[in-house]
Amino acid sequence: DWLKDAAVQRVFELLNADGGEGRVVGGAVRNALMAIPISDIDFATTNPPEEVMARAKHAGIKAVPTGFDHGTVTLVIDGRGFEVTTLRKDVETDGRRAKVSFGRDWQEDAERRDFTINALYATADGTVIDLIDGLKDIESRTLRFIGDAASRIAEDYLRVLRFFRFFAYYGVGRPDADGLRACARAKDRLDTLSAERVWSELRKLLAAPDPSRALLWMRTSGVLTAVLPESEKWGIDAIHGLIAAEQSLGWSPDALVRLAAIIPPQAERIDSLSQRLRLSKAESEQLLKFASAPAISADTAGAALDRMLYRHGPTGILTRLKLSLASARAQAVENDEQMVKAARFDALLKRAQAFTRPVFPIGGADVIALGVKPGPKVGEVLGRLEDSWIERNFTEDRAALTARLQDVVSKLD
Ligand code: ATP
Ligand code: MG
């Protein structure tokens, strides 16, 4: 039982002393009630942040003021971090992020949260406290804004994306009609949000076990185009096929491969997306590798694929092959031609996954040993020899290449 865990109980003991109180809130309670694995355990408390810091210091627990101004202190116990946040209520807002003040009122703390399923509390003995009628929405898996959807969105437009994110993970059937309508109406205000907050929500949405239904509703409501203008209409079908392939072939979900499925592989679009949403360098490089990867058809020969892998590296090519395979599989029902294509892409993907890049066995010293003066010519000779070695599918060893080296050098004069 996750609440009986010693570290969790230590947090409760710390917060529940001297007239203070702490409760677990948000994702942990929600997931536990839905019997879904819990990621982090967050606490809400009546104690002000200075008090949490002081108590932790006294108890010899490491405390880091990770968001002190909005009341968050992270306690570190047995190497695990627990975010403890003082009860808050919204006082004003600019639509970019709600401004809060500290309080001691659990009802107010619940009401300023976004969705009913996110505003349930658990006490140390496992009692669930439901102040906003969230339990019934947990049971029916309904994602519902607390209070009036439109006004809650106007306080913080990120809630539009959170709506689709949580729908992707927990929703069933159609999204709540009021919530969906309010999200659709707010779509033109999303550009006021910071890139970091938007991308962080989108990344989580894309990493959901199956984000395709949420993305479909984002498209129908116009939110997808507002937040990802680079995406294409066919992207929804593509992601559908990708998820089906992931599930039946056991591919691990990857938010960036899913993103690649809904945008065309064009460097300009990927550049604009990376800059607008401030993707990390590694993320934008992964997408650019995909965009610049050579086109691979179902009839591409295995040896030709090896050459592409040698020249381009595996990252973008693997994504290309996965998407091509997923698309062929999706169309393969009662279509023999696509079935054949799917089998070919499957073989190419397996070959690409098994490919280890051979090491070119000749170096600059070998060229210089033949009397070429150190300088740009050495690189040119090496480049030509390497090209022909690739064209011959890496079959020549060092001896064979050394024998040809003299030839390449003399031809260059
Ligand atoms: P996850 O499993 O993704 O961590 P979570 O529900 O814990 O899910 P967080 O983003 O960690 O989500 O937020 C913790 C809690 O804080 C939420 O459950 C919700 O009650 C509240 N919350 C977070 N962001 C907002 C927001 N923008 N507006 C209102 N409430 C929010
Ligand atoms: Mg959380």
| Minimum CA distance residue for ligand 1 atom 8 | 27
Distances (CA, A) of 3 to 6, 78, 205: 8, 15, 27
For position 90, what pLDDT does the model report?
73
The strands making up 72-77's β-sheet, listed across from edge to edge, are: 62-67, 72-77, 80-86, 42-45, 22-25, 120-122, 128-130
| Residue 213 C-alpha from the chain's centroid | 17
Distance 164 CA to ligand 1 centre (A): 13
Distance 41 CA to ligand 2 centre (A): 7
Please report the atom of ligand 1 found closest to the CA of residue 158. Answer: 27
| Minimum CA distance residue for ligand 1 atom 11 | 27
Question: Could you write out the DSSP letters of every residue in 243-307?
Answer: HHHHHHHTPPP-HHHHHHHHS-S-HHHHHHHHHHHT--HHHHHHHHHHHHSPP--TT--HHHHHH
Distance 100 CA to ligand 1 centre (A): 15
What backbone phi and psi angles, to 5 degrees, belong to 17?
A: -75, 160
| Domain limits, the chain | 1-140, 144-226, 228-357, 364-412
Place of tokens 């170096």: 363
Contact in structure between 98 and 87 (CB atoms under 8 Å)? no
Q: What is the CA radius of gyration of the chain?
A: 28
Please report the atom of ligand 1 found closest to the CA of residue 204. Answer: 3
| Minimum CA distance residue for ligand 1 atom 28 | 114
Q: For residue 202, which of 275, 271, 146, 256 has the smallest C-alpha distance?
A: 256
For position 334, what pLDDT does the model report?
83
Task: Say which residues have a Cβ less than 8 Å from residue 69's Cβ, sequence separation at least 6.
Answer: none
- Among 96, 113, 160, 200, residue to substitute to test ligand 1 (most atoms within 8 Å of Cβ): 113
pTM: 0.89
| Minimum CA distance residue for ligand 1 atom 2 | 27
Task: Say which residues have a Cβ less than 8 Å from residue 199's Cβ, sequence separation at least 6.
Answer: 277, 278, 279
| Cβ burial 391-409 (10 Å sphere, 16+ → b, else e) | eeebebeeeebbebbeebb
- Among 34, 91, 99, 114, residue to substitute to test ligand 1 (most atoms within 8 Å of Cβ): 114
373 burial type by CB count under 10 A (0-12 exposed, 13-18 middle, 19+ buried) = exposed
For the chain (413 residues), the mean pLDDT of every run of 10, in chain order, is 94 96 97 94 96 97 93 96 92 74 90 96 97 96 97 96 97 95 97 96 96 96 95 91 95 94 91 95 94 94 96 95 95 91 97 96 94 92 95 94 91 74
Options 3.40.50.300, 1.10.340.30, 1.10.3090.10, 3.90.1150.10; CATH of 144-226: 1.10.3090.10
| Residue 28 C-alpha from the chain's centroid | 20
| Minimum CA distance residue for ligand 1 atom 1 | 27
DSSP state of 374: S
Angle, helix 235-249 to helix 314-331, in steps of 10 degrees: 100
For position 88, what pLDDT does the model report?
87
| Minimum CA distance residue for ligand 1 atom 18 | 26
Q: Which fold has domain 1-140?
A: Beta Polymerase; domain 2 (3.30.460)
Distance 118 CA to ligand 1 centre (A): 7
Distance 317 CA to ligand 1 centre (A): 36
For position 358, what pLDDT does the model report?
96
| Cβ burial 245-262 (10 Å sphere, 16+ → b, else e) | bbeeeebebbbbbbbbbb
How far apart are the C-alpha atoms of 238 and 260, rounded to whole Å? 10
Q: What ipTM, to 2 d.p.? A: 0.97
Calculate the CA dihedral of residues 83, 85, 90, 93 and round it to 10 degrees: -40
| Minimum CA distance residue for ligand 1 atom 4 | 27
- Which amino acid, residue 17? A
For position 265, what pLDDT does the model report?
87
Which residues, judged by CB distance below 6 Å to any ligand atom, belong to the binding site of ligand 1? 26-27, 39-40, 42, 113-114, 118-119, 156, 158-159, 162
Please report the atom of ligand 1 found closest to the CA of residue 118. Answer: 18
User: Is the Cα dihedral 186, 190, 196, 202 positive or negative?
Assistant: positive
Place of tokens 């999200």: 183
- Which amino acid, residue 88? R
> Which ligand minimizes its atom distance to the CA of 30?
1
> Which ligand minimizes its atom distance to the CA of 38?
1
